[in-house]
A and B are shown apart, each in its own frame.
Chain A
């Protein structure tokens, strides 16, 4: 079922390893996102798939066809790969009309005139641009330009669509709208998407699977739900969603929140294999913490050091020992006041050991 395959793909710029032996299989019609902080290697990976960057090692296949292999010194040039691609800065040609922008890849392929017209119009219709066909793209808004770029990528009916932060130049509300338009187009045309972004909600909303990357190394590849609910490591946990970490120390075989005199309650016992380990931390999400009445219910004691009303939710900062942890509750839920002592129960605690 896998369609695009990356085997052991490595890219070095001088001494810097931008991508380190990446193995990846992307299915036909799948929407696959690459997520990570800037400089993590996600864009470099996409550009290697597109053919704009050579590989230092490894191989890339599309279907059964080898497209990049430094070992055999074989690179299928980008123009022969038959991909669609949308760039962050739109890259719409200002000297051509909207129509000519979209027709460009078809003209390059020397299709018959009637076919060019039909497919250009189809792509324009699918992106709601039919009315603007004769306009200059310079007159369009950012969203309009990005639609032109999408239509241009759609026109050749590609099997794989490469999207390089296509929405990050747009206004926030437009971004959400376009996100669903891309998803709709994918359903309609059935192409695979490789999507690069640093925006986790974008990746969550669109993707069948997400790859989280850091410093050129894969941290986790999984469904959005699993990446959120079962983060593979502390980095993934902190990168996806809001996160709290409490440093845990060991004394006489018992675990303590650093700076706190009372040992952790029984409900928060670290897993067996982490007993006695240094650099242990207890992770939780601000939305998955309850205020409980007292320590009998297995709560951690803290003092509210900040309370902010954010509209739908109330954001608390609670001091436990020397550390702080954020709690978010709906505005209707009862909660302690500023300066009050409270007990917290972590609904889904995660444990991570060792420096990361």
Chain B
């Protein structure tokens, strides 16, 4: 009897393992391998010379350098801004800290390409509202700031990426044992010395880990560079891949250049992830303390009001102003008219929601794609995480390795890989259909699902399942009645972590859309490219409303469930 049960359980385990491996291989591994294969194999033989030739072409070489420059400036800027604000809201007596902290997290949910769009309206060299204002009123001969520049692009990225560092450093500073700083104080060190010699070194791993995340993100970032760079001929890796493939209609040469550039991204991403692992491994300080008194707050004294004003101005300038511009431009009858009451109306919003097929389709596509991707990825993620975290089967190692992949593959790489895999080369042609976008979304967001689900599963101790089995439940019953209810919060978190970002997705969709399969992001971007600025802004406004309402619902919901 017992040997039979043993055997059937072995079978179930193998099936689950096989399914998990199959999903990750098909969705993530094959596309990545195809990119590497296409980059290095030409006509059936290994060819590194061509790779070198492609990279040394002036335009590709420049794109690589541009990616690096923009990523470095963005990373340094975000790290300084994020660390400074984190320190300000956790370690000083700045007023309204709770509000500030909430506001500094807002850029997290705002799509950066919509932000870029807003900054284009504000600071484009000739037509930008701010530039025009200064030229018209103060007699400037030229723009006061040209957003179509390396610095402009990087600054816009900083505005939307610094929360990666902010949130990590805030967490570390809040969890840190305050007596570590107090003992430095009683040793005679002033607050400045403590910050420099004790606090910063102790949270350095958190700072670096956030910085590397930004570096990874910025290297492979499409939206901001596409909106602000292309006009002035500034391409980075993802925008050049897009430009080449888009212009040539998917020619072999363009795809090949794309795969070489994508390979560079893959290698960079792998290197950054490896570095991050090292930083976190080495700096694994035990800084979480025993009995917790409130940490010392630096009294800002004379700087208190100036810094408060600085924070408020920062928030107004980087969050309120761009958002307001989007909504205002979305309300204009024609782009270029001044913002007066007679020029503003809700007709654009009505038009895109109820009349204009392109935008109506885009909203429908994004919502259905987001829902399907979130549901599928949530279930696939819980199964794969279960194998990785809980099951003891042979072959798990492969799965662990495959499970790492989604974390390190940037969106534009996934899009390119999906084109290579699903354009009929293997008998299935999904190109120009909505399905190819769905497959790409699943690959892109698998990492979120694995993270949320394995975190939830690690909380479920093995003894809970063992207790249920000891009570006479079968493996399946235990899974259904014990494990599943306990990981449900993790699954819900995964669902929302996928659904919301997919609503505003641009990097992947832009490479895969066809005229009937535009998503919200694609529609905003293409409408803007086509000069339909007011419609594009109105759609961006609608997208912002959906995102903010969605985020608020999630916040309420997760607070109730206690995720």
Contacts and interface: CB of A to CB of B under 8 A. Distances in A.
Given A91-B179, A108-B193, A84 B290 contact: no
Contact of A89 (B189, B190, B289, B296): B289
B287 A94 contact: yes
Interface string B263-290: 0000000000000000000010111011
Interface in B47-68: none
A78 interface: yes
B285 A94 contact: yes
A43 to B, nearest CB: 8
B383 interface: no
A93 B180 contact: yes
Interface string B184-197: 11111110010001
A216 to B, nearest CB: 16
Interface in A185-207: none
Interface string B225-243: 0000000000000000000
B439 interface: no
B291 A79 contact: no
Interface in B169-204: 177, 179-180, 182-190, 193, 197-198, 201-202, 204
B293 interface: yes
Contact of A88 (B188, B197, B291): B291
A85 B180 CA distance: 11
Contacts of B185: 52, 77-79
A91 B410 CA distance: 41
Contacts of B188: 79-80, 82, 105, 108-109, 156
Nearest to B202: A95
Interface in A15-42: none
Contact of B202 (A78, A82, A93, A156): A93
A238 interface: no
A156 B184 CA distance: 13
Contacts of A89: 177, 179, 289-291
Contacts of B289: 89, 91
A50 B188 CA distance: 12
Contacts of B184: 93, 104
A91 B291 CA distance: 11
A78 B291 contact: no
Given A89-B289, A89-B291, A79 B189 contact: yes
B246 to A, nearest CB: 49
Contacts of A9: none
A109 B204 CA distance: 25
Interface in A77-131: 77-85, 87-89, 91, 93-95, 104-105, 108-109
Given A88-B290, A169-B290, A81 B177 contact: no
A162 B179 CA distance: 13
Contacts of A95: 201-202, 204, 283, 285
Contact of A108 (B177, B189, B290): B189
A84 B182 CA distance: 11
Contacts of A84: 186
A105 B190 CA distance: 11
A164 to B, nearest CB: 8
Contacts of A50: 182, 186
Contacts of B201: 95
B187 A79 contact: yes
Contacts of A88: 179, 290-291
A93 B198 contact: yes
Interface centre among A83, A95, A105 (most CB of B within 10 A): A95
Nearest to A104: B187
A74 B202 CA distance: 32
Nearest to A108: B188
B189 A87 contact: no
Interface string A130-161: 00000000100000000001001100100000
A175 interface: no
Contacts of B183: 85, 87, 91, 149, 152
A258 interface: no
Contacts of B296: 52
A183 interface: no
Nearest to A164: B179
B286 A78 contact: no
A81 B286 contact: no
A342 B291 CA distance: 47
Given A89-B177, A93-B180, A79 B290 contact: no
Contacts of B187: 79, 104-105, 108, 152, 156
A221 B187 CA distance: 30
A69 B285 CA distance: 38
Contacts of A179: none
Contacts of B186: 50-51, 78-79, 81, 83-85, 153, 162
A36 to B, nearest CB: 15
Nearest to A102: B187
A129 to B, nearest CB: 16
Contacts of B291: 88-89
Contact of B182 (A87, A105, A108, A153): A87
A319 interface: no
Contacts of A87: 179, 182-183
A329 interface: no
Nearest to A38: B291
A89 B287 CA distance: 10
Contacts of A307: none
A138 B285 contact: yes
B293 A138 contact: no
B175 to A, nearest CB: 13
B280 to A, nearest CB: 14
13 contacts: A52-B185, A78-B182, A79-B185, A88-B290, A88-B291, A93-B202, A94-B285, A94-B286, A94-B287, A95-B283, A104-B184, A138-B285, A138-B286
Given A105-B188, A109-B188, 19 more contacts: A52-B293, A78-B186, A79-B186, A83-B186, A84-B186, A85-B186, A87-B182, A88-B179, A89-B289, A89-B290, A91-B177, A91-B179, A91-B180, A93-B198, A95-B201, A95-B202, A138-B286, A153-B186, A156-B188
Interface of A: 47, 50-52, 77-85, 87-89, 91, 93-95, 104-105, 108-109, 138, 149, 152-153, 156, 162, 169
Question: Nearest 9 A-B pairs (CB), nearest first?
Answer: A89-B290, A105-B187, A91-B179, A87-B179, A94-B285, A91-B183, A85-B186, A108-B188, A78-B185
